[in-house]
Amino acid sequence: DWEAPLAWSHNRVEGKTEYTSLLYLPARAPFDLWDRETKQGIKLYVKRVFIMDDAEKLMPRYLRFVRGVIDSADLPLNVSREILQSNRVLDTIRQGSVKRILGMLEQMATNEPEKYAKFWGTFGQVLKEGVGEDFANREQIAGLLRFASTHTGNDTPSVSFKNAIDRLPEGQEEIYYIIADSYAAALASPHLEIFRKKGIEVLLLSDRIDEWLMSQLTEFSGKKLKSVTRAEVSLDDAAEESTPDAKEAQSALVERLKKVLTELVDDVRVSKRLVDSPACLVTTEEEMSLHLQRLLKEAGQAAPTVKPILEINPQHPLLQRAEAESDEARFEDIARVLLGQATLAEGGHLTEAADFVLRLNRLLV
């Protein structure tokens, strides 16, 4: 790498374990960054004698982009890879080196945000792996994560969990987020409507690793991390109270929809999160998200088929039209089109696209 490093640290440690380290963060990503089995970039010396140039035991996989040299005074000169696998001296060096790198990143994020933004754009997705791999440093790593947000109005991942917590309304105990295939898809999701209306910030995640990341990270600094696509999300006073007559009509509509969609959805409910859209799909906390199901299937892996929950907005003209429809065949067309629209809005694919088009055309004429 011919470019100057983003940051570097030269350090000598004395005490029970003595070693000298020179570690740096390169400005460019190596060509094999995404190969988790690639050789590490740390060279190991013992008493200034070169031992090996890919000492994987010295740095965890999620910091595989780090380059540098470590010279130990406590390891034997005839050290082998087998010895390195269970060596307390090496464990101490590794722990100290990881702390130094994470501390260097924290300083950069605080004092040089533009430089950290460059680092995050290059190595951010790799650093996310550390949340699940390094339990001892999970909170510190989580503090280094950056995301796009409805607060900033652009797709730059510049918002930390701490930023989001600092802006939480009084009494709010959750940090809300959504995971989608892209920033644009996340921003346009109907799941955000009530949050946008109430001015509540939502983090917008769109990296392929984010589903795994958020399954490992459930809270930060005492605040729960909650997906807006989960059925359990409910904001206080999210929807206006309906009159008894309206509730009865809504209940009847829900039952009719359940009847015609029983093989396709797990349940039909009146939504408290929709403002402008007619319907959306959600899943429970215990079930795999619809987005993760798609990612697994696209990767050729087995994924359980989970029926989604269809949430409806009874105030939308399309639902009011469905409520007034007496022709059951036409009502089923409306119900199937509603489900298809909700599937597309969620980023899913229609398994019976021709049937969807046929039903839509019947409603248009």
Q: What is the pLDDT of residue 304?
A: 81
pLDDT over 80 (residue 244): no
Residues carrying CATH 3.40.50.11260, the chain = 146-227
Residue 358's SS3 state is helix
Residues carrying CATH 3.30.230.80, the chain = 7-112
**Residue with more model confidence, 80 or 193:** 193
pLDDT digits (tens, 9 = 90+) for 106-123: 999 999 999 999 999 999
Question: pTM higher than 0.75, yes or no?
Answer: yes
Residue 188 to residue 200: CA distance in whole angstroms: 15
Closest to 289 (Cα-Cα) out of 190, 204, 215: 215
Tell me the backbone φ, ψ of residue 110, rounded to 5 degrees: -80, -45
pLDDT digits (tens, 9 = 90+) for 342-364: 999 999 999 899 999 999 999 99
Q: What is the pLDDT of residue 1?
A: 60
Q: What's the sign of the alpha-carbon dihedral 139, 141, 147, 151?
A: positive
What is the secondary structure of 120-183 as a DSSP string? Answer: HHHHHHHHTTHHHH-GGGHHHHHHH--BEETTTSSS---B-HHHHHHTPPTT--EEEEEE-SSH
pLDDT digits (tens, 9 = 90+) for 172-215: 999 999 999 999 999 999 999 999 999 999 999 999 999 999 99
> If pLDDT is split at 50, 70 and 90, which confidence band does 30 have?
confident
Q: What is the pLDDT of residue 83?
A: 63
pLDDT digits (tens, 9 = 90+) for 282-309: 999 888 888 888 888 888 888 788 899 9
Closest to 21 (Cα-Cα) out of 80, 84, 72: 72
Round the average pLDDT of the chain to a whole number and report it.
Answer: 90
Closest to 109 (Cα-Cα) out of 96, 123, 95, 97: 123
Domain at 146-227: CATH code: 3.40.50.11260
Contact (Cβ atoms closer than 8 angstroms) between residue 258 and residue 197: no
Q: Which residues of 274-288 are buried (b: 16+ CB within 10 A; e: fewer)?
A: bbebbbbbbbeeebe
Domain at 7-112: CATH code: 3.30.230.80
Q: What is the pLDDT of residue 243?
A: 66
Tell me the backbone φ, ψ of residue 17, rounded to 5 degrees: -120, 125
How far CA 336 is from CA of 71, 332, 362, in Å, comes to 67, 6, 12
Rounded to an integer, the average pLDDT of 309-321 is: 95
Q: Which amino acid is at 94?
A: R
**Residue with more model confidence, 80 or 185:** 185
Q: What is the pLDDT of residue 50?
A: 87
Q: CB-side exposure of 216: number of CA atoms within 13 Å?
A: 17
- Among 81-90, 137-146, 223-232, which stretch is predicted with the lowest mean pLDDT? 81-90
Residues carrying CATH 1.20.120.790, the chain = 244-364
Strand partners, 49: 46
Q: What is the pLDDT of residue 156?
A: 95
Q: Which overall architecture, per CATH, does domain 244-364 show? A: Up-down Bundle (1.20)
